[in-house]
Amino acid sequence: MSARQACTVAPYRSEHIEDAWLIDRLCFVDPWLKRSFIEELKAACALNRVAADESRVLGFCFGRIILDEYTIHRLAVHPAQRRHGIAACMLQSCLRHAALRGALCCHIEVRSGNTAALRLYEGFRFERIGTRTAYYRAGGEDAILMRCMLDTPRPGQSA
């Protein structure tokens, strides 16, 4: 593994839209429309965070809290910034904030061939709980459903 990248994790805001949209197009075969990045700012149940250095966004993690479940919909790190612990840093922050907002567990779907993401989530104690066969339109890959239980925040613990 390479050296850790100095970055901070912060709530996703309007000034992050352009960078996050660019990273998304670099990372996914089914990139989101820019409109989706704008809409993400309006969802009350969203728990969306970005990793950034002093000048730009390095990655983002978007999810929603519905009742007591946090579901991550999108997580990506700029291709030039990988293996520096950025995804781990964002994930840790998002899971902690989700627990503080009352979530008891976190769900995610991962392409079966996405070794990097599977390893990342397994490192956070996510367990495989199911498979959706040939789920993804692009490539026809299976989706692996993963879940981790969140640590209950201690009394007085804050974000």
> Interface with ligand COA by CB under 6 A: which residues?
1, 27, 75-77, 82-88, 108, 110, 114-117, 119-120, 123
CA distances (Å), origin 84, targets 22, 96, 118: 20, 20, 17
Q: Which is nearer to ligand COA, 20 or 86 (CB)?
A: 86
Q: How far apart are CB 28 and ligand COA at their closest, in Å?
A: 6
DSSP type of residue 55: S
Q: How far apart are CB 100 and ligand COA at their closest, in Å?
A: 22
Q: Which is nearer to ligand COA, 102 or 114 (CB)?
A: 114
Nearest to 59 by CA among 113, 101, 107, 120: 120
Q: How far apart are CB 154 and ligand COA at their closest, in Å?
A: 26
Nearest to 24 by CA among 102, 78, 98, 85: 78
Q: Which is nearer to ligand COA, 36 or 114 (CB)?
A: 114
Q: How far apart are CB 33 and ligand COA at their closest, in Å?
A: 17
C-alpha span between 134 and 141 (Å, rounded)? 5
Q: Can you read off the two tokens belonging to residue 70?
A: 């946090």
